């Protein structure tokens, strides 16, 4: 929940930033705490990855200017 506290303190309202940071933190902690199980995906992993991909694609489309 550190990312939530930091982004709230910085007064950030972008939900994509929250979702992306939670996804990256989740996968990093999962890799650190379970190094042997790298290729198994659970439902939460797939859901977070889909949300992360959506917000990244949305950001890329807004940067490219094709909406």
- d(C-alpha 56, C-alpha 18), whole Å: 12
pLDDT tens digit string along 6-60?
777 888 788 888 888 888 888 888 888 887 766 666 788 889 889 989 998 988 8
- Largest Cα separation within the chain, whole Å, is 42
What pLDDT shows up at residue 54?
A: 92
pTM across the whole model: 0.70
Q: What are phi and psi of 6, to 5 degrees?
A: -65, -45
pLDDT tens digit string along 11-24?
878 888 888 888 88
- d(C-alpha 44, C-alpha 50), whole Å: 10
């Amino acid at each position: 929940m550190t990312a939530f506290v930091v982004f709230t303190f910085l007064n950030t309202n972008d939900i994509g930033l929250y979702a992306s940071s939670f996804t990256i933190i989740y996968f990093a902690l999962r890799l650190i705490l379970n190094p042997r199980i790298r290729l198994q995906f659970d439902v939460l992993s797939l859901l977070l990855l889909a949300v992360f991909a959506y917000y990244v694609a949305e950001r890329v489309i807004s940067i490219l200017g094709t909406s």
